[in-house]
Amino acid sequence: MERDPIRRIPIDPRLVRRELNVDLPTARYLVRTGLVTTEGARVLRRGPTTGTCATAAAKAAAIRLLEGRAVSTVRVRLPIGTIIGVRVRLVEEDPPVAEARKPGNDDRVDATEGARIRARAEPLDEPRVEIRAGPGVGRLPDGRPAISEAVRGQIRENLAYLIERYGAGLRVTISVVNGEELAERTLAHRHGITGGISILGTKGLVDPNSEEAIEGTIRHDLRYVENVPCLVTGYRTLRVATEELGLPETDVINCQGRYDLALRILREGVPTDGGTRRFDRVLILGMPGKLLKLAAGVYNTHARVADARYESLLARLVETGHLEDARRLARRGPGTMVSEFLQSLSPEARRDVLRRACELVEARVREDHDLECGCAAYLRTDDGTEVVTGPGWRRLAP
């Protein structure tokens, strides 16, 4: 058995070999790097994120600039710690510009598949990497480029050896061919991003997240739960659950924001060798934005379906008696970044709001899905990870 580095579940390479018609060493490589995962007996392909493609293009352009070589494939270290090969091509010479085309995967709703992501490398006087945005890369409402900090870190990590070897600095400019047109097929505009697509990727690989794939993954992972299943919505939250709160990996289920699917499956049960296993308790751990949606009764928390964060936060502030903060939020209006506003609250107000959200989530899940529920919210602050729990969490969590 090999272990999926993202979902952390065991995968039999023989299944990958049979389904993809590859030899066993290749099957092991695909599993170890995270390029494939499984859904029952199905093998699902992952592909590079926009951030990984940008990193590959940046590395190829930097190699051309500093070493004079044109490469067709580069090795890219992913944020999850594995290394994959990404195909690239040189499209301009002086200064060098390289391009990586985002390949397909088994996510049926990946709107950026086929995107041509480019990077231009130019010398910089200081031995560091400066990252800029060019045409086709979106801009946040405050004017900053829509290149995430995770991607910036990935680019710098992959170029560090060149900086060290040659003692030279690099200015890297990321662009996307027809990025503004491509953005019309994404949800960028709902987040206030204009002028192109976002360059993102916390894992480095795109997880298949069609509804069928998400449901299959939830059913598969629930079979291995030993205690109370804990629903999370992403791999950052999964790491908080396992590494900071000490929950067993087998008990943590990434439902990718589809609480509606996960809660229904918990009640229906999942097939096991001994019959059907059903659950009557559930833990929910999430970042404030997701839990504020759940507190408002939004069980599918993807932005393209519904977004009640602002209204829910406003209601929670009023309920907990923080009226001046509620007025301040109302003056800002629905476009307010919820995470930013929460950071501006006093620690007492923030805890009150999140505790109330957790209480409402626990009550809703109990009433709507007949499941005993424990809910906890976590928020990254300057002092570390702040965790706020509802009464159900304190009762059900191990």
If asked whether residues 185 and 233 sit together in one domain, one would say: no
- Label residue 348 exposed, middle or buried (CB < 10 Å: 0-12, 13-18, 19+): exposed
Residues 218 and 331 in one domain: yes
- What are the phi and psi torsion angles at 272 (to 5°)? -130, 175
Same domain, 263 and 382: yes
Q: What pLDDT is recorded for position 238?
A: 85
- Note whether 129 and 149 are same-domain residues: yes
Yes or no: say if 204 and 48 are a contact pair by the CB < 8 Å rule: yes
Split at pLDDT 50, 70, 90, the class of 108 is low
Examine the fold and report which residue of 203, 235, 252 is the final residue of a domain before the chain moves on. Answer: 203
Q: Are residues 334 and 383 in the same domain?
A: yes
pLDDT digits 0-9 by tens, 210-245: 666 677 778 878 888 889 999 998 777 888 999 889
Asked if pLDDT for residue 187 goes beyond 60, the answer is no
Residues 92, 196 within the same domain: yes
Q: Could you give the CA distance from residue 322 to residue 312 in angstroms, rounded to a whole number?
A: 14
Res 184 pLDDT > 90: no
- What pLDDT, in 10s, does the model give residues 2-20? 999 987 788 999 999 999 9
Q: Please give the pLDDT value at position 224.
A: 81
Least confident of 41-50, 181-190, 193-202, 309-318: 181-190
- Phi then psi for 218, rounded to 5 degrees? -60, -45
pLDDT tens-digit series, residues 118-141: 999 999 999 999 999 999 999 988
Residues 331 and 349 occupy one common structural domain: yes
pLDDT more than 90, % of the chain: 63
Structural domain boundaries enclosing 188: 50-203
Q: What is the structure's pLDDT at 348?
A: 94
Task: Specify the range with the lowest mean pLDDT, choosing from 39-43, 82-86, 244-248.
Answer: 39-43
Only one residue has tokens 């990497």, namely 129
Q: How far apart are CA 352 and CA 36, in angstroms?
A: 42
Which pLDDT belongs to residue 211? 67
Q: What pLDDT, on the 0 to 100 scale, is given for residue 376? A: 96
**Measuring CA to CA, how many Å separate 118 from each of 122, 135, 209?**
13, 10, 26
Are residues 276 and 171 part of one domain?
no
Least reliable range by pLDDT among 41-45, 130-134, 371-375 = 41-45
Give residue-wise pLDDT tens across range 251-297.
999 888 899 999 999 988 887 767 788 899 999 999 999 999 999 99
In this structure, the answer to whether residues 232 and 134 fall within a common structural domain is: no
Among 157, 176, 203, give the residue marking a domain's end. 203
Which amino acid is located at 344 in the chain? S
- Per-residue pLDDT band for 107 (boundaries 50, 70, 90) equals low
Q: Does residue 81 sit in the same domain as residue 185? A: yes
3-state SS record for the chain: CEECCCCCCEECHHHHHHHHCCCHHHHHHHHHHCCEEEECCEEEECEECHHHHHHHHHHHHHHHHHHCCCCCEEEEECCCCCEEEEECEEEEECCEEEEEECCCCCCCCCCCCCCEEEEEEEEECCCCEEEEECCEECECCCCCECECHHHHHHHHHHHHHHHHHHCCEEEEEEEECCHHHHHCCCCHHHHCCECEECECCCCCEECCCCHHHHHHHHHHHHCCCCCCCEEECCHHHHHHHHHHCCCCHHHEEECCCEHHHHHHHHHHCEEECCEEECCCEEEEEECHHHHHHHHCCCCECCCCCCCCHHHHHHHHHHHCCCHHHHHHHHHHCCCCCHHHHHHHCCHHHHHHHHHHHHHHHHHHHHHHHCCEEEEEEEEEECCEEEEEECHHHHHHCC
Model confidence at 248: pLDDT above 60: yes
CATH number, domain with residue 87: 3.30.2110.10
Give me the residues paired with residue 42 across strands.
39
> Of 160, 180, 203, which residue sits at a domain end?
203
Q: Residue 109 pLDDT > 70, yes or no?
A: no
- The tokens for 299 are 């069980």
Task: Please count the structural domains in the chain.
Answer: 3
Please check whether residues 218 and 131 belong to one and the same domain: no
What's the rounded mean pLDDT across residues 329-336? 83
**In this structure, are 16 and 149 located in the same domain?**
no
